[in-house]
Structure 1
Amino acid sequence: LTTRGIAQQGVSLLYDVRTDVDINGKLVTATILGNNKPVDPVDPETPAARVNPQLKALSEGHLASAMMLTRGGDTLAYNTVHTI
């Protein structure tokens, strides 16, 4: 029995994985794939992992909160200067 799927490491890395199950030998083997072939650990030219496309949502939320904080500080400073 052979299946293909995606394994996730942390929040940022995705791996293509092929899982082979040998029922008679009671053995499960998972192979990380790179470019739809098994990864050669000696060859650095074929990266096994790819970046999760949903990762940019984390940085966009952080940026929005930082911009809101900065804008609030600017508004407060502007109003304080003009009341004096």
Structure 2
Amino acid sequence: MNKIMTISLVFESKNEGTILVGTDKHLDQLTHPEIKELIGEEILIRGLDNQEIPLQVSSIQISTSMADKKNVGICVGKSIAPNDIEVGSIILKS
């Protein structure tokens, strides 16, 4: 399984559910469509305790900072609460 990014922020959106936000320097070299293809429709979250949780991806938001760094938000819907995912967990390609 390939690492996509480390989670730096987890929050809940009223309409979208739980959103996982992170960055990784290898994502900065990719286009938005390439990042979406890399992430796909299902991801694994590897927690700090090494337990893995499979999640369906409902949407992906990507923004590029003025420093040309990609910030990626992955919406996983309402199947898991934000407090069930720790900052520092790793998102893997399923």
TM-score (norm 1): 0.28
- Structure of greater Rg: 1
Higher RCO (C-alpha 8 Å, min separation 6): 2
Greater share of residues in helix: 1
TM-score (norm 2): 0.26
